[in-house]
């Protein structure tokens, strides 16, 4: 990687260069350095890149550059979650600050249809959409997608995990074959290879690192705990954390329950999961970003896309379903070169699943991992101490007073 390549050397159009400078970006990240020249040539690309790598700008910079020079061109960006789509929208807004002719629309579920129809009638140069809602519009004929020249599939693996394959396929069938397609994915499982084979033409693969593995600055630790002590232990870990914390749980109900528990002990906590309205989710994310809440309890829906810096700890209250999800979860911390901690609570019944993840991640295996299947309650050390009154303990914790957001 060259040491000194700067955006200023990239001969980008003036409004874009100005916006990039205003955003404070001087040097491209590794993925940007590789992808921007290739994408600028009009080549289809498959990029293995995670959130945090600068992937959004890696496609938006060449895309906006192209749209500025080709007034008739239009782009569609598909993202798995509303949060990611909204976030991409805010990055577009920054990049087009000095290019107001590049109008864009965010087409996501949970927002009123009629407003989106109006937005689509204005023929936005860029549409950022979640697949389900976009297909609704396509079927209604709310908008004409015949002019699309660019398709970007962001977090393609996540779109598949969330069951959006039929919608993605339908979108692809309804847009012009003549187009440039860019696929970004943190992992590259079989389904994504198959999709890439169908949807992209002679794609160039761009890989910056072994993205199956998270950045080195994240320290990962497994904490053996009895299932009944998870709440207690989580509270301890939150109190010991130096910054904001995301706690991942398996289900919406567990998210609600844990958030209530933490609230009882005075933790400034918000929660995010699929049953919360778009307004509630935005409020949670904004409040978490601004420091109003120090802790966010979330299901995996929040694991991707969220660009929140200064998260010191990710706590896996429940194990993720897959190693890929684990990588995405813990990728929320240790961003932009900062250090982070990923702490995974493992109850005896989870030891077997944890062993699978730990093996893939190259982490130390639980002591009696090989026996864990047959002896789930074997020699795993459990966190046994219980407090008589956690509420007092919380109140008397001087660290809680020192932190402005608590």
Question: Looking up tokens 């699929």, which residue turns up?
Answer: 274
Binding residue (CB under 6 A) for ligand AMP from 28, 215, 340, 366: 28
- For residue 166 the two structure tokens come to 């039929």
Nearer to ligand AMP, 65 or 119 (CB): 65
Least separation in angstroms between residue 32's CB and ligand AMP is: 6
51 binds ligand AMP (CB under 6 A): yes
Task: Note whether 82 and 128 are within 8 A (CB).
Answer: no
Binds ligand AMP (CB under 6 A): choice among 10, 36, 57, 162: 57
Q: Which sign does the torsion angle of CA 316, 55, 128, 131 carry?
A: negative
3-state secondary structure of 220: strand
Nearer to ligand AMP, 272 or 369 (CB): 272
Among residues 208 and 345, whose Cβ is nearest to ligand AMP?
A: 208
Helix (H, G, I), strand (E, B) or coil at 267: coil
Binder among 53, 81, 180, 255 for ligand AMP (CB under 6 A): 53
C-alpha dihedral sign at 221, 222, 224, 226: positive
**Residue 211 engages ligand AMP in binding (rule: CB under 6 A):** no
Which CB sits closer to ligand AMP, 307 or 318? 307
* Shorter beta-carbon distance to ligand AMP: residue 29 or 244: 29
Using rule CB under 6 A, residue 25 touches ligand AMP: yes
- Considering only residues 327 to 356 of the shown chain, the ones binding ligand AMP according to CB under 6 A are none
Sheet holding 204-207, edge to edge: 104-107, 126-129, 74-78, 148-153, 180-185, 45-48, 204-207
- Tokens at 97, concatenated: 């600050």
Q: Is position 29 an interface residue for ligand AMP (rule: CB under 6 A)?
A: yes
Taking the complex as a whole, how short is the minimal distance between the CB of residue 221 and ligand AMP, in angstroms?
25
Classify residue 153 by its DSSP letter.
E
In angstroms, the CA 301 to CA 332 distance is 12
Q: Which three-class secondary structure string do you get for 256-321?
A: HHHHHHHHHCCCCEEEECCCCCHHHHHHHHHHHHHCCCCEEEECHHHCCCCCCCCEEEEEECCCCC
Q: Of 296-325, which residues contact ligand AMP (CB under 6 A)?
A: 307
- Minimum Å gap between C-beta 241 and ligand AMP is 21
Stretch that binds ligand AMP, among 54-62, 66-74, 115-123, 395-403 (CB under 6 A): 54-62
Instruction: List residues binding ligand AMP (CB under 6 A).
Output: 25, 28-29, 32, 51-57, 307
């Amino acid at each position: 990687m060259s040491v000194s390549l700067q955006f200023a050397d990239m001969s980008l159009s003036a409004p874009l260069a100005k916006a990039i400078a205003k955003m404070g970006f001087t040097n491209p990240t590794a993925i940007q350095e590789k992808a921007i020249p290739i994408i600028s040539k009009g080549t289809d690309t498959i990029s293995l890149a995670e959130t945090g790598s600068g992937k959004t700008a890696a496609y938006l910079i060449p895309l906006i550059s192209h749209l500025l020079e080709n007034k008739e061109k239009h782009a569609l960006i598909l993202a798995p979650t509303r949060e990611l789509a909204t976030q991409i929208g805010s990055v577009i807004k920054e990049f087009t600050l000095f290019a107001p002719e590049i109008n864009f629309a965010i087409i996501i579920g949970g927002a009123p249809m009629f407003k989106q129809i109006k937005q689509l009638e204005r023929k936005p140069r860029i549409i950022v959409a979640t697949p389900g809602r976009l297909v609704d519009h396509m079927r209604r004929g709310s908008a004409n997608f015949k002019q699309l020249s660019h398709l970007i599939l962001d977090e393609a693996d996540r779109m598949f995990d969330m069951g959006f394959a039929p919608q993605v396929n339908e979108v692809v069938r309804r847009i012009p074959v003549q187009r440039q397609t860019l696929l970004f994915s943190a992992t590259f499982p079989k389904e994504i290879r198959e999709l890439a084979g169908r949807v992209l033409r002679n794609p160039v693969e761009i890989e910056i690192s072994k993205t199956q593995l998270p950045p080195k600055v994240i320290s990962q630790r497994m904490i053996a705990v009895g299932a009944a002590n998870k709440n207690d232990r989580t509270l301890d870990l939150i109190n010991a954390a130096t910054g904001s914390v995301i706690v991942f749980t398996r289900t919406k109900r567990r998210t609600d329950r844990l958030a209530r528990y933490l609230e009882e002990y005075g933790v400034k906590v918000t929660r995010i999961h699929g049953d919360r309205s778009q307004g509630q989710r935005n409020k949670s994310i904004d409040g978490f970003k601004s420091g109003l809440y120090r802790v966010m309890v979330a299901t995996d829906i929040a694991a991707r896309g969220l660009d929140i810096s200064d998260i010191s700890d990710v706590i896996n209250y429940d194990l993720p379903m897959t190693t890929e999800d684990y990588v995405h979860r813990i990728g929320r911390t240790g961003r932009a070169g900062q250090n982070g901690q990923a702490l995974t609570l493992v109850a005896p019944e989870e030891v077997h699943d944890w062993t699978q993840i730990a093996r893939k991640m190259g982490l130390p295996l639980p002591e009696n991992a090989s026996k864990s299947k047959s002896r789930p309650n074997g020699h795993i050390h459990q966190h046994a101490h219980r407090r008589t009154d956690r509420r007092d303990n919380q109140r008397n914790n001087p660290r809680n007073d020192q932190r402005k957001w608590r």
